[in-house]
Structure formats: C-alpha cells, structure tokens
C-alpha cells in the first residue's frame, strides 16, 4: 500500500494540511513545495493572515509571484493600482512590479502564493526561525536584502 510519506518523497504529494509549517509575523504559512523539491522551478505556500495583516509594498528583481484568494477579502497593490479581491480572485505580480496586500476582512483570510523561480521561500523560513526578541528592523532588513525584497513607498492618495 502506498503511503503519504512515500508519495511525498517520490512525487511531492501531500495529505490535507501537509507541508512545512512556518509562522511569519504571527501568520500561519504552509510551505507545500520548495525549490529543493521542484529543482528550483517553483515554490508554493498557503498562508493565512489575521485581519489587518499582509505584506508591505515591495518588489523583486529575480522572481515573479502569484496570489490566489482562497477565502477572505484582500486589497492587492500591483504597480500603481489597488484592487479589492475576494475568494477565487487571482493576482500576478511580475518581477520589477511593486506589490503588496492586506487582509481587509474581520476574520482570517487565506492566500495561495506561487514563487517562480523558487528561492524566495527561504526568506519565509528565515523569518519564521527568528526568535521574537531578534526581530529587529536591522535583522529584517538583512533578510529582505538577502532574498531580493526591495521596499517601496506606499501609494499616495486614497486606497
């Protein structure tokens, strides 16, 4: 009989709720597939965000990101635009485009994030491993720099 463990090792098949658990700024992430497993092609993360949390505006030079809203209500920024998005919405953030998002809802919201090519998921692993007392601005900035994350200013005017 085939087991989930053997399928994971051979083909990357996971049971419901499977994946590497991470906690990033208090939000729950599950790393479903990493660069090691996909030979650098792609990483996929399922992330649940508390109300009012998300990702501050930033950009990447070396990879693209995609976001699919599983549940909740999010505001996405891509380039110089904001859009509100609910379940089933999809957002592509190409490299060199400013992007970010926040959970607008009163409850948790869940996104599926895809990173291509893989590598940026290591940023989440490092953030998750930082002890609370070591989450200084300097430590965070160093991790952001190491993994191709450049902060950008928020858009001016109404969101």
* pTM of the predicted structure, to 2 decimals: 0.90
- How far, in Å, are 52, 54, 104, 136, 146 from residue 77 at the CA level? 15, 11, 13, 26, 23
Confidence at residue 14, expressed as pLDDT on a 0 to 100 scale: 86
CA angle 158, 54, 109 (to 5 degrees): 105
DSSP, collapsed to helix, strand or coil, labels residue 7 as: helix
Domains for the chain: give ranges and CATH numbers.
18-150 (2.60.120.10)
Q: What is the pLDDT along the chain (159 residues), one digit of tens a residue?
A: 565 566 666 667 888 889 999 999 999 999 999 999 999 999 999 999 999 999 999 999 999 999 999 999 999 999 999 999 999 999 999 999 999 999 999 999 999 999 999 999 999 999 999 987 788 888 888 999 999 999 999 877 555
């Amino acid at each position: 009989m085939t087991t989930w463990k053997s399928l994971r090792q051979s083909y990357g098949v996971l049971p419901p709720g499977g994946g590497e658990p991470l906690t990033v700024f208090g939000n729950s992430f599950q790393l479903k597939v990493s660069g090691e497993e996909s030979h650098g092609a792609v990483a996929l993360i399922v992330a649940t965000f508390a109300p009012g949390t998300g990702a501050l505006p930033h950009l990447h030079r070396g990879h693209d990101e995609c976001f699919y809203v599983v549940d909740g209500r999010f505001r996405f920024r891509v380039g110089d635009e904001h859009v509100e998005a609910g379940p089933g919405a999809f957002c592509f953030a190409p490299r060199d485009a400013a992007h970010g998002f926040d959970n607008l809802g009163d409850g948790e919201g869940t996104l599926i994030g895809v990173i291509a090519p893989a590598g940026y998921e290591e940023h989440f692993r490092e953030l998750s491993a930082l002890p609370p007392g070591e989450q200084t601005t300097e430590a965070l900035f160093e991790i952001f720099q190491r993994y191709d994350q450049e902060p950008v200013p928020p858009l001016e005017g109404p969101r």
